[in-house]
Chains A and B, each alone.
Chain A
Amino acid sequence: MADQPFPIAGSLDVTPPRVREQMTVGEWLHAWVVTVDHKRLGILYIVYAIFFLLVAGAEALAVRIQLARPDNHFLTADVYDRMFTMHGTTMVFLVGMPILFGFGNYLVPIMIGARDMAFPRLNAFSFWLTAFGGLLLYYSFIGGYGLYGMGNAPDVMWLAYAPLTEKAFSPGHTMDYWALSLILSGFGTLGTAINIIATALSMRCRGMTLFRMPLFVWLMLVTSALTLITITPLTAAQIMLVIDRYLGGHFFDTQAGGSAMIWLHFFWIFGHPEVYVLVLPAFGMANEIIPVFSRKAIFGYPAMAAASIGIAFVSTGVWAHHMFTVGMTSVGNTFFVLSTMVVGIPTGIKIFNWLATLWGGKIQFRPPMLFCLAFLFQFLIAGLTGIMLSVAPWNWQLHNSYFVIAHFHYVLVGAIVFCIFAGIYYWYPKAIGRMLDETLAKWHFWLFLIGFHVTFDTMHFAGFLGMPRSIYTYEADRGWGTLNMIVSIGGFIQAIAVLIFAYNLIHSYFRGRIAGNDPWDAWTLEWSTPSPPPVYNFATDPVVHSRRPLWDLKHPEDPDWKYE
């Protein structure tokens, strides 16, 4: 860093952090409920998602205990179905989406030098819609049987293939709660996506041209644009399901000429791009963290932005690769095999750019960087098994086997969850003002890494040996017993790691080292504000001249804008 006081007096905000007034608990809660501040809403999203992460993790553990031994009866078959359905639905809709949009909420305005989102009240409305959707889904544990008087929950897998979800096959109210909850949280997501697009396009501070925006903002912009055309087909399909269940419609009623296939198409038109909606913000975090801890500017910024748009574009045309085993024409199969393989090109560009950023850098192995490095290797493997599964004949062999489960958990956990952990370690000091404990962080990292590989590497082999997904139990002579025991042990190692992480979040909130404005010596605008930032973010509107405004401030003798 250059030898001068930082931030340079008068150039950026130097307001001291707010003094926390003496409030009663009621006033404090009220302030959080009525808030329209993007930072508070971002934190609410993330806390909400971490809560459901623990819930859905517990559900996964129940599933793993059931499958650890052959002929096991730890859970009844009914409860087992509910557990893995709720695990999947919760992880995708109540953990993945809210946590990533929470990061978007917190970071997008502050990274582009704005004081809030474009529509702060819409922002709060979207959060409470999403939160209410989550509560509605979990209320089905209590209200699922309606007046029958017993608890229940959806038990149709997270993809809820029709006509299993129709009234005739899913009596009671569990599917109603499921559909209504997803419609509601879908509208919440749509509102947030619109808000992020409007913020990124219309709220940028002076000098923040599109090609100077931090890549995280770029990725959130692309994700939100993709969300507009991704989450809405699901909403439409859910409305059809509700029409069928409540008004006696026949959309998915095969008895009256309706089609089960059309649900498959509608669901996967949503379901496949959804993976990219989840993974693109995770890429965005890696884009911010890897350069800072390599002490180099990101390699190939325009290529990164272009590759993100490419991924979003291609991802809308690959959905039927989830349906090879349903039976399609050879033309259909060929199209979806090729379009799926094309995704590998922009993704490969990204991986090479990250490697090139690391290359020759002065790498610092701090907790955020550790998680990002693990992400790089795991995402590569996840991509390679994805290419394997995109080959239709291979897919016919392994679809609906544990190989597929292993593949998508490699993406969702190995890539996305690792990036989310990296993001929390990286931005927690900014949001809270204190550093997370580094020793606990390293325990968390290594245990989670080991647990992850014990679980999901082994799952691939169970899949090769023919173990189908979603089965309640299996006979001892199938030869899957040892593998499943190993998978379950890995699950518990991950659970211990996550508990260490949760403890660290609470412990460091009270005892962590004071972070200061810029603990990582980073380059984007959020690090120029105090930690935590004041409500208005910036006392004076910042002006930027390059992709790394703080580098320019710290190194006036060698600013970036001379080279861009």
Chain B
Amino acid sequence: MSAIPTFPTAEPWSLPSRGRVAMLSLIIGESAIFTIFVVAYIYYIGKSISGPTPQQVLDIPFFNTVCLLSSSVTIWLSERQIERGNIKAFAALWALTMALGIEFIVGTALEWHKLIYVDGLTIHTNLFGTTFYSLVGLHATHVVVGLLMLTVVMIFTLTGHINIRHTERVQVLALYWHFVDAVWVVVFTVVYIVGR
């Protein structure tokens, strides 16, 4: 055992956070799903053989968009609060984020209600209906899942289980929320600007 090798000097050892790596991987995978739906939407623009068309029925959801995009800012502010350990400010901003997200879902529900009952556009009506409800619906599903996760954090916050040690987990969750918002920019551009 005399020949135990002397190793090169100990290198400092740090590894990326597994939560962030996993969430970024999930985001890459989800982006591929959205890409396929966006491509299908673009490919089928103007290919419906019967009405209604997007020009006839779609209104640009400005208020919804502003709400959803500002929720990215509020969640970012709340991340900074939990970093500093201000749990009260964190909870307030987190609740604001949730409210903005809920507004978006309510807005979408009202839009869909109008489309279905006033304009008679369902997923079965024509290609526009099929691609519109699946793309916007896929995004809305992601918002709902995000809201459920935000709610879980909110419940833990209100019951006093969240503190500065959970910063990283909260930030990983926030990454997902930022992704959902970023996808809306693409969906909004494709559906309400390019496709209309």
Using CB atoms and an 8 Å cutoff, list the residues of chain A in contact with chain B.
Answer: 4, 8-9, 118-119, 190, 193-195, 197-199, 201-204, 206-207, 224-225, 228-233, 235-237, 239-240, 243-244, 247-251, 256-259, 262, 266, 269, 545, 552, 556-557, 559, 561
Contact = CB atoms under 8 A, between A and B. Distances in A.
Given A198-B25, A228-B28, A249 B124 contact: yes
A262 B25 contact: no
B124 A248 contact: yes
A203 B25 contact: no
A163 to B, nearest CB: 14
Given A4-B1, A197-B25, A198-B18, A247 B32 contact: no
B43 A201 contact: no
A460 B58 CA distance: 56
Contacts of A247: 123-124
B44 interface: yes
Interface in B43-75: 43-44, 47-49
Given A118-B21, A201-B15, A229-B32, 14 more contacts: A118-B18, A118-B22, A197-B22, A198-B21, A198-B22, A207-B11, A225-B25, A232-B33, A249-B123, A249-B130, A250-B126, A250-B127, A250-B130, A257-B126
A151 to B, nearest CB: 31
Interface in B1-20: 1, 3-5, 7-8, 11, 13, 15-18
A193 B16 CA distance: 17
Given A195-B22, A198-B18, A202-B15, A236 B47 contact: no
B30 to A, nearest CB: 7
Contact of A556 (B4, B28, B48, B126): B4
Contacts of A258: 44, 127, 130
Given A202-B16, A545-B8, A229 B43 contact: no
Interface of B: 1, 3-5, 7-8, 11, 13, 15-18, 21-22, 25-26, 28-30, 32-33, 35-37, 40, 43-44, 47-49, 123-124, 126-127, 130-131, 134, 138
Given A194-B29, A256-B127, A561 B22 contact: no
The 4 closest A-B pairs by CB, nearest first: A236-B36, A202-B18, A248-B124, A232-B32
A232 B33 CA distance: 5
Nearest to A244: B130
Contacts of A206: 13
Given A250-B127, A556-B5, A557-B3, A235 B22 contact: no
A197 B22 CA distance: 7
A253 B11 CA distance: 60
Contact of A266 (B4, B8, B36): B36
Given A197-B25, A198-B25, A235-B33, A561 B8 contact: yes
